[in-house]
Amino acid sequence: MHRRHILLLALTLVIPACGVHPPITLPRPDLRPPLRIDQVHGYQSAVNAIAAVIERELGVPPFPVTFDFYRDDAAFEKGLRELGHDPVTARKTARVMRGVGVPGRVLVNSLVLEPMPWSDRVRVLAHELTHCLQYELAGGNRGASEQWLREGFAEWVALTVLDRLRARPYAETRDRQWAAFRGSARSRAPRLDEMVDLQGWITVVGRRDFAAYSQAFLAAEVLVQRHGAPAVISYFRQYASIRDRSTAFRAAFGEDPAAFEAVLEARLGIKRR
């Protein structure tokens, strides 16, 4: 039995059905957001804190989002099917992901989240809320926006949130991402065009020889360093009217995706065999 399945089986025995948190919503202007991680004592205060950091750092005010919590993998998978995922994609997604952010909604696997310290839960919630933000910026559309950038920027925002809430310094979590990437099979790292859609992303995430999230995060960080976070926000806004990913990329960053990948591979030390 896979280690994750053993863990989930053990957790099922200790998390009762009544332990699933009821849905929560944003925005909540009636509640003052926590400024530090030690002030976070529940999911509502957690998402309020995350939304406040996103507004300060990215200039995007809170927008309507509902967070739904599912008690285990099976319930999470069912929620994904009800969302419109085909059965195979829903099953694969439920096995490898702790949450999913879609337009105006975040689906969370409570079985995985509940045992985590609040810093880790905030990281997951911030990551998924950023996916909602990506849809919001594009007027509810996903368009052809590249999955590696969706995931990498969501992780960049999550680590920034942890830093601003004094949970973990950005440099520390960034170093961990670098360590995970360096410890993977870099010569077999997927090309960016292998990670442009959800199916390709799920396939890459399922590889045991490679740290997909670390590569995506580092790629997004390079974009932010070269062009600034507002350029990434502009990239997602392009999809309100643009359907071609290369056009959107060039419009936001002023460079061709292939040219950026060459810069990225040199920066990350990727040497193809």
Tens of pLDDT, residues 101-145: 999 999 999 999 999 999 999 999 999 999 999 999 999 988 889
Using alpha carbons, select from 28, 30, 24 the residue that is nearest to residue 43. Answer: 24
**What is residue 239's predicted lDDT score, i.e. its pLDDT?**
93
Predicted local confidence at residue 271, as pLDDT:
84
Q: What domains can you pick out in the chain, each with its CATH number? A: 3-268 (1.10.390)
Q: 237 Cβ partners below 8 Å, 6+ apart?
A: 137, 138
Residue 272 gets which letter from DSSP? -
Per-residue model confidence (pLDDT) at position 21: 86
- Write down the pLDDT at residue 43: 97
Q: How far is CA 14 from CA 76, 108, 112, in A?
A: 18, 18, 12
Using DSSP's 3-state secondary structure scheme, residue 24 falls into: strand
pLDDT tens column, 25-34: 999 999 999 9
Residue ranges in the chain whose pLDDT is less than 50? 1-19
- Distance, in Å, from the CA atom of 90 to the CA atom of 38, rounded to the nearest integer, reads 35
Cα 206 to Cα 143: distance, rounded to the nearest angstrom: 24
d(CA 61, CA 256): 30
d(CA 75, CA 110): 10
Q: Which amino acid is at 174?
A: R
Residue 70 and residue 103: Cα distance in Å, rounded? Answer: 18
Cα(232)–Cα(246) distance, rounded to whole angstroms? Answer: 14
pLDDT computed for residue 93 by the predictor: 86
Residue 70: the pLDDT is 96
What pLDDT does residue 6 have?
39
pTM of the model: 0.90
